[in-house]
């Protein structure tokens, strides 16, 4: 173990993400039943943001600040309060306030502190705004994506709550909550549509998702753990319900499953298809919203994740930090397409990224893909 001093931080992070996942499940069920049909907005870049995004950010911000002290906590997160603060968003803000307070009221059964009295709109906007750190090469920075894969969330598909801790440029804690990702590891094979060219890991039977899971790790441990989401009124006894997960041992490309993003806006499916063919991958790609792709690699459900963004797209650290550490500590390899480690020291973006990101269950597959990138790149349109 690199440093036992992160025990407290990991403990709090797992509990906070657990609470956030249950919050998201409740909101998603409402969205799917049209109860909250108007409870999301479009940001300036046209990407969606929902009650869950703001509520999770406020909840985790409040927990971290109360636990470690506002002056001692630096949080880098995706959402701001610009849209939520507008007069026309008053009803939306009211729902966020209600959602956050309902979630924080459950904190004691997760071993965390709850507010002495209900938080008001000003306090919740402050909690969201507190997540305005720019990160950087020095000090500790929490990195939060409150709902990674909001499009998947709105579609009733995959999404994740991602929380990581970076210390002096190194990711030292990674926690990934996957509310719609079943514990059973044979789910992917049994539920892939046999005739669909590019299957998507999606929500077809809401009842089967009831558990969901949380994966977490600490730098230098060589271990990644998974636990089911807690439902009902049970108290969380952590880590009693957790079990070790490990990457797949498959090395043959013909047997490997590879994941890629669903949306085409920030990835090039044509290039990854050509690259997969050159490497010898024979299975169709599994298209997955959010960092659930990293979870699939870490727990051995898939072997490869490839993402090659189109020109001009910049990767954000909150989309990768927690997932990268999980895969690495579970025995896998994650680099850019040039084989270099991802750099989390430059602020909110993964600056200097060489073409794309490749995560693999092992070094042999990783080396084959890196080699094929160089052979395929000249003919690409990226």
Measure the CA–CA gap between 167 and 61, rounded to whole angstroms.
18
Residue 79 assigned ligand-binding role: no
CATH 3.30.540.10 maps onto the chain at: 4-245
Cβ pair 28, 289 in contact under 8 A:
no
Residue 44 assigned ligand-binding role: no
pLDDT tens per residue across span 3-51:
577 999 999 999 999 999 999 999 988 876 655 545 555 544 445 789 9
Residue 71 assigned ligand-binding role: no
CATH 3.40.190.80 maps onto the chain at: 253-377
Active site residue 53: yes
Residue 102 assigned ligand-binding role: no
* Token digits of residue 197: 């060219």
* Token digits of residue 288: 């997955």
Measure the CA–CA gap between 285 and 272, rounded to whole angstroms.
9
Contacts of 203 (CB under 8 A, 6+ apart): 155, 156, 157, 158, 180, 209
pLDDT tens per residue across span 227-268:
999 877 766 766 667 899 999 999 999 999 999 998 877 788
Q: How many Cα atoms are found within 13 Å in the side-chain-facing hemisphere of 366? A: 23
Catalytic-role residue among 50, 99, 150, 257: 150
Quick one: CATH architecture of 253-377?
Answer: 3-Layer(aba) Sandwich (3.40)
CATH number of 4-245: 3.30.540.10
User: Strand pairing partners for 77?
Assistant: 144
Q: What is the pLDDT of residue 188?
A: 52
Active site residue 150: yes
pTM for the whole thing? Answer: 0.90
Contacts of 357 (CB under 8 A, 6+ apart): 305, 306, 307, 315, 320, 334, 335, 336, 337, 342
């Amino acid at each position: 173990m690199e440093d036992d001093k992160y025990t407290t931080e990991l403990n709090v992070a797992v509990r906070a993400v657990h609470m956030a996942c249950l919050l998201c499940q409740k909101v998603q069920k409402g969205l799917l039943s049209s109860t909250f049909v108007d409870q999301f907005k479009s940001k300036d870049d046209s990407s969606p943001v929902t009650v869950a995004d703001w509520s999770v950010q406020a909840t985790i911000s409040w927990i971290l600040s109360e636990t470690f002290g506002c002056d001692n906590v630096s949080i880098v997160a995706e959402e701001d309060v610009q849209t939520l603060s507008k007069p026309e968003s008053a009803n939306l803000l009211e729902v966020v306030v209600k959602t956050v307070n309902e979630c924080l009221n459950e904190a004691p059964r997760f071993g965390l502190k709850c507010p002495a009295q209900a938080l008001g709109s000003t306090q919740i906007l402050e909690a969201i705004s507190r997540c305005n750190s720019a990160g950087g090469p020095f000090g500790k920075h929490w990195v939060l994506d409150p709902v990674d894969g909001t499009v998947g969330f709105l579609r009733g598909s995959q999404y994740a709550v991602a929380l990581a801790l970076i210390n002096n440029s190194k990711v030292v804690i990674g926690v990934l909550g996957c509310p719609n990702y079943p514990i059973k590891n044979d789910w992917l094979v049994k539920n892939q549509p046999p005739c669909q060219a590019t299957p998507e890991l999606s929500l077809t039977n809401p009842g089967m998702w009831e558990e969901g899971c949380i994966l977490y790790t600490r730098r230098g441990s060589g271990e990644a753990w998974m636990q089911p989401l807690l439902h009902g009124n049970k108290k969380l006894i952590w880590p009693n319900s957790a079990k070790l997960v490990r990457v797949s041992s498959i090395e043959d490309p013909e047997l490997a499953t590879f994941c890629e993003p669903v949306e085409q806006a920030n990835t090039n499916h044509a290039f990854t298809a050509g690259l997969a063919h050159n490497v010898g991958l024979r299975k169709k790609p599994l298209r997955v919203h959010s960092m659930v792709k990293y979870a699939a690699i870490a727990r051995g459900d898939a072997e490869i994740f490839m993402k090659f963004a189109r020109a001009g797209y910049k990767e954000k650290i909150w989309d990768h930090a927690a997932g990268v550490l999980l895969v690495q500590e579970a025995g896998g390899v994650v680099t850019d397409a040039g084989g270099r480690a991802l750099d989390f020291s430059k602020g909110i973006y993964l600056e200097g990224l060489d073409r794309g990101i490749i995560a693999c269950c092992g070094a042999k597959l990783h080396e084959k893909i890196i080699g094929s990138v160089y052979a395929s790149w000249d003919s690409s349109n990226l």
